[in-house]
């Protein structure tokens, strides 16, 4: 009888130990799972913050402060300039500008842009074809062939960081069209010909433009000049003798003018 009680007592002790161990394991496993989940969430949150935070790269003096056209790469499945990726790039560049205003030589240009944008938004009578979003400093101006073009005023430091962004294809400086002037060409001609003054016939016939500049060499001149340059005296005081057996004095090109006389001074007969 004592043996029965002994084994019963041992069984109760073993059962108690198993229950205790299981009870301790359950919260431990759950706690580990919760800690793992929290750690994963914190890691993802840190990654998101890391991706959304934009700071300057090492300073680079290659670029210069001015307006830039920023070409943003788009995928075929993305919509127009209002897609989320474009908005994200705009937000990043906008924040980059705000955080680095001290790198600008002319921060007043940024202030002017914000002021003009504020006035534009107040004007309820005007309807705009494009929604420029909330940013006063960066906005899209066109989308074509999966490329969205953004417009922004960037300092030399900021533009180098923008160029390195993953969604940015490249940045192009804004170029202003300037009407070409022949003043430098005329000065060059005067210096080399010693003419007192130079006359110019714009968009002259090919044979005339060739006469005034000779054989065209693209590697030297870059672009062919269509103008005909001549001394302002226009041949005054120059006598020209032409020996020809078939000269036609009745042609309009050889008719007498106020300042030129064309005549046959002698004939040669067999």
Query: 167-220: per-residue pLDDT in tens?
Result: 888 888 887 765 555 677 888 888 888 888 988 888 887 778 888 777 777 777
Q: Is the pLDDT of residue 15 over 70?
A: no
Please give the angle made by the CA atoms of 198, 201 and 205, to the nearest 5 degrees: 135
- Contact between 262 and 254 (Cβ < 8 Å): yes
Sheet holding 168-173, edge to edge: 138-144, 147-154, 66-73, 168-173
What are the start-end ranges of the H helices in 133-182?
156-163
- Contact between 180 and 96 (Cβ < 8 Å): no
Q: Is the pLDDT of residue 53 over 50?
A: no
Residue 127 has what pLDDT?
57
Quick one: average pLDDT of 240-244?
80
Residue 96: pLDDT band with limits 50, 70, 90: very high
User: Taking the model in full, what pTM does it have?
Assistant: 0.43
Task: Tell me the pLDDT tens digit for each residue of 78-89.
Answer: 554 446 778 888
Task: Tell me the pLDDT tens digit for each residue of 103-123.
Answer: 998 889 999 988 887 777 676
Instruction: Quote the tokens at residue 170.
Output: 């490249």
Q: Is the pLDDT of residue 52 over 50?
A: no
Residue 233: pLDDT band with limits 50, 70, 90: confident
Quickly count: other Cβ atoms within 10 Å of residue 171's Cβ: 18
């Amino acid at each position: 009888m004592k043996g029965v009680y002994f084994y019963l007592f041992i069984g109760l002790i073993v059962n108690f130990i198993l229950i205790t161990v299981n009870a301790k394991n359950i919260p431990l496993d759950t706690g580990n799972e919760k800690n793992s989940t929290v750690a994963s969430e914190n890691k993802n949150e840190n990654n998101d913050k890391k991706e959304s935070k934009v700071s300057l790269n090492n300073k680079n003096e290659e670029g210069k402060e001015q307006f830039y056209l920023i070409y943003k790469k788009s995928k075929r499945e993305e919509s127009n300039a209002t897609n989320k990726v474009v908005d994200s790039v705009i937000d990043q560049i906008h924040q980059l500008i705000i955080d680095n205003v001290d790198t600008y030589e002319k921060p007043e240009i940024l202030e002017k842009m914000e002021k003009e944008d504020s006035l534009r938004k107040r004007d309820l009578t005007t309807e705009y074809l494009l929604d420029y979003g909330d940013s006063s400093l960066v906005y899209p101006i066109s989308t074509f062939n999966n490329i969205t073009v953004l417009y922004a005023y960037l300092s030399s430091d900021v533009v180098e960081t923008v160029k390195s962004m993953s969604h940015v294809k490249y940045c192009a400086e804004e170029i202003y069209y300037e009407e070409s002037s022949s003043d430098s060409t005329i000065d060059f001609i005067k210096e080399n010909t010693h003419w007192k003054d130079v006359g110019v016939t714009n968009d002259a016939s090919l044979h005339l433009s060739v006469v005034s500049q000779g054989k065209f060499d693209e590697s030297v001149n870059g672009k062919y000049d269509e103008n005909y340059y001549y001394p302002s005296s226009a041949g005054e005081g120059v006598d020209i003798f032409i020996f020809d057996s078939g000269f036609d004095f009745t042609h309009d090109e050889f008719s007498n003018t106020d300042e030129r006389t064309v005549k046959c001074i002698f004939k040669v007969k067999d």
